[in-house]
Structure 1
Amino acid sequence: MRARVQQGLWLVGLLAALLALALPVQAKGPARAPATTKTVLVVGDSLSAGYGIQAQQGWVSLLSRRMKTTHPGWSVVNASVSGETTAGGLSRLPRELARVKPAVVVIELGANDGLRGLPVDRMRANLDRMVQLSQASGAKVVLVGMRMPPNLGRAYTESFANAFTTVAKNRGTALVPFLLEPVMLDRRAFQADNLHPTAAAQPRLLDHVWPTLGPLVK
């Protein structure tokens, strides 16, 4: 009888030992803090908001997906609004900078200023102030330029294009001179309004911006 009791106790001890080995071992010391995420803030108009296509098809959404793979410590916040002018972007920017605290700011504005024939010097001043505010917050900046059709007159179109170059040079910021450059001669790349690129054209826009933006997201 005593032998059976001892055998039973031995089996219980063996099972307890096996269960102890199967239980997860808790790591000693404090838990590791999650990696800090840096953010790219895009402040643009309908060209960056994905007008006329599904939101996930736009070049900014494609940028977000690319960076999840290539730069897992980064995120993308799209604060673009269709119809936005540089004045509207400037009025919203301080709030977005405080909310997002971005490491990089992409400013893609000016097309609606040009289409409305607004004074170029006012647009240039707005862009300059946006770059200044972004840099003062500690962010690096990519300024994305635009071009106007020739029917607005040579003087206006040239001064419009030069505004982006001037701001980038004066503030020492990165510049993509013309967002639509890779698709401008391809009619099939535009929607029926002849203004907004199709979903199929969005990867080409991203590939056009990336060589300038990519070196800043390190």
Structure 2
Amino acid sequence: MRSCSWQRRDFIAALVSACFAAGATAASPAVILVVGDSLSAEYGLKRGSGWVALLEDRLAKEKIPAKVVNASISGDTTSGGRARLPALLAQHKPTLVVLELGGNDALRGLPISGTEDNLAQMAQAAQKAGAKVLLVGMQVPPNYGTDYTRRFSEAYVKVAKQYKAGLVPFLLAGVADVPDARALFQADGIHPRAEAHPKMLENVWPELRKLLK
């Protein structure tokens, strides 16, 4: 009887230990990896005023346990992000990857097919590493031509559908497409001022929040 009692006690102890371990895993904070360009790298801004930094504040305010890793580099393209991503995935082991790239591809006149392929490969790599994916889209000015403008925007939609990823159609909605848009940009006319970044976060937040649930 004593032997049976010890076996039962050992089983209960093991069960309780497993429950605590499962609880600890469930409580582990999400790791959000942002791979972007100057729009996410706080180009020309005071540190802590860009939308990624504001995202950290929003998560803390809403008591959502998450760590944000901003791996954005000014001037980066989708090919640059694709090259950097494997090492970032291995180092940070994110649960959610935010891909904010493509604007510099358009500025350099790179083929849309290449941009789309790079986004697709990054989405695939992130998902294979166990992360959810959020694509943050960009739109180009109408002077690029109607066809190019349409196909560029559609590239993000196609990749998001193919990989069942989250999608923010246009990071600069409410910033670049308003009547007084010039006042929201720095002198170069490309990079938003700090005043515009809360709106940029509001564009990203609803889709990002869905993926954190």
| TM-score, length of structure 2 as denominator length | 0.84
Greater Cα offset, 81-90 or 63-72: 63-72
Unaligned runs of 5+ in 1: 1-31
CA contact 1:105–1:134 (8 Å) conserved in 2: yes
State the AA in 2 paired with 1:39: V
Q: Which runs of 4+ in 1 moved over 4 A?
A: 32-35
Specify every segment of 5 or more residues in structure 2 that has no aligned partner in the other structure, as ranges.
1-22
177, 191, 199: which one pairs with 2:194? 199
Q: CA deviation at 1:72?
A: 4.2
Deviation at 1:187, TM superposition (A): 1.8
**Superposition pairs of residues 108-127 of structure 1, within 5 angstroms:** 108-127=100-119
Give the match's secondary structure for 1:61. Answer: helix
Q: Does 1:62 align with 2:54?
A: yes
Share of identical aligned residues, percent? 52
Aligned position for 1:170: 162
Instruction: Give the secondary-structure state (helix, strand or coil) at the position aligned to 1:102.
Output: coil
Structure 1, 36-45 or 79-88: larger mean CA deviation: 36-45
Q: Tell whether the 8 Å contact from 1:68 to 1:75 is kept in structure 2 after alignment.
A: no
Count of residues in Structure 1 that have an aligned counterpart in Structure 2: 188
Partner of 1:43: 35
Cα offsets for 1:6-46 (capped at 9, x unmatched): xxxxxxxxxxxxxxxxxxxxxxxxxx979522210000000
* 2:145 equivalent to 1:153: yes
Residues 1:86 and 2:78 aligned together: yes
Match in the other structure for 1:208: 203
Larger gyration radius, structure 1 or structure 2:
1
Residue type matched to 1:189 in 2? L
The residue identity in structure 2 corresponding to 1:96 is L
Superimposed CA distance per residue, residues 172-203 of structure 1 (whole angstroms, 9 cap, x where no aligned partner)? 11100110011112221111111111001111
Aligned-residue RMSD, C-alpha = 1.7
Output the CA distance in 2 between the equivalents of 1:97 and 1:58.
Answer: 23
